[in-house]
Amino acid sequence: MKVISWNLNSRTNEDTLKSQCDYLKDNDFDLITLQEVTLNSEKYFKSYFQNRNIISSFDLVKDKSILIKKRKYGQLIISKKLIKYLDNKCSEVPFVERVLSGYMPCKDIEIHTTHVPPGSSNGVIKVQHFEGLFQYLQGRKNKTKILTGDFNSPKDELSDGSVITWGQKINSSGKVRIAVNPKWKNECTGERWDRAERNIIERHNELGLVDAFRSLNGYKDSSGSWFTLRGIGRRYDHIFCSEGLDVSLSFYDHEPRLNKLSDHSPIICRVNL
């Protein structure tokens, strides 16, 4: 099963939307998970992929009027095979539309995708999202599943496998210490922030999950999926798979980002079920 996870950068221009859809169709993905979808782009994707099975996190929100500003982003799952909304939805996060969970009956596998709110603009909401998602997935530890999305974490990964979170800072001598953005110091401690990000990024094995990219490529590969204006790469986009699944391919495709289809490079995996 060829799987992709991609943050679409909330694009609404019709030419760009068509190019995004063409890229997804031309690469013949079996399972497409998308983040930073808007209500307008959702309509376009549903129309373009009308012959496939689609579920949307916007359907989890009864009052669509709240889907503005920080809550305007949703997720889509597009599948060649039948996929249904998972009955037991994640309600432990502040923005319920930021987690979308489905079940693929023919493969007996759950598909979860998420877009963790960035801490720079959402503060402790990011922490609460990580905590809630981890709690939700702990209850589904024994289910065969794939978890994808834009996690806005980690801040960095070292070649020895060490993870640096946004609850930490590195000084000029390279020493790492716990620290939280002063803007949020009255809402959350650095210790809590650091622990919350590690819940998924580092402790995914406690959920029975494997980091698909690192399991194949190790920590010597410094690939990023989003880049700062200074060209610093952050590996924000991830695919995690249940330990029993065989992942034979995992990489970031930078071409769509370089072609300005999004500011994120999608992560692509081949999972043999």
Locus of tokens 């834009």: 150
Quick one: pLDDT band at residue 252, thresholds 50, 70, 90?
very high
Position 150 scores a pLDDT of 98
Type of residue at 62: K
DSSP the chain: -EEEEEE-TT---HHHHHHHHHHHHHTT-SEEEEEEE-HHHHHHHHHHTTTSEEEEGGGG-S-GGG-SGGG--EEEEEESS--EE-SS---SSSSGGGEEEEEETTTTEEEEEEEPPPHHHHTHHHHHHHHHHHHHHHTTTTS-EEEEEE----SEE-TTS-EE-TTEEE-TTS-EEE---GGGTTT--HHHHHHHHHHHHTTGGGGTEEEHHHHHHTTT----SEE-TT--EE--EEEEEETTSEEEEEEE--HHHHTTS-SBPPEEEEEE-
Position 273 scores a pLDDT of 87
* Contact indicator for 113, 149 with CB cutoff of 8 Å: yes
* d(C-alpha 76, C-alpha 46), whole Å: 9
Q: What tens digit of pLDDT does each residue of 77-103 get?
A: 999 999 999 999 999 999 999 999 999
Is 48 buried (19+), middle (13-18) or exposed (0-12) by CB count in 10 A?
middle
* Contact indicator for 127, 192 with CB cutoff of 8 Å: yes
Q: What percent of the chain has pLDDT over 70?
A: 100
Please give the angle made by the CA atoms of 85, 113 and 124, to the nearest 5 degrees. Answer: 115
Token pair, residue 223, equals 């690939």
Please give the model's pTM, rounded to 2 decimal places.
0.97
* d(C-alpha 38, C-alpha 41), whole Å: 5
Q: What tens digit of pLDDT does each residue of 224-236 get?
A: 999 999 999 999 9
Domains and CATH numbers, the chain: 2-272 (3.60.10.10)
- CA distances to 49, 106, 114, 203 from 58, rounded to whole Å, are 17, 25, 13, 29
Position 172 scores a pLDDT of 83
* d(C-alpha 134, C-alpha 9), whole Å: 25
Q: What tens digit of pLDDT does each residue of 130-185 get?
A: 999 999 999 999 999 999 999 999 999 999 999 999 999 988 888 999 999 999 99
Token pair, residue 23, equals 């890229």
Per the model's pLDDT, the better-predicted residue between 273 and 21 turns out to be: 21
Q: What tens digit of pLDDT does each residue of 98-126 get?
A: 999 999 999 999 999 999 999 999 999 99
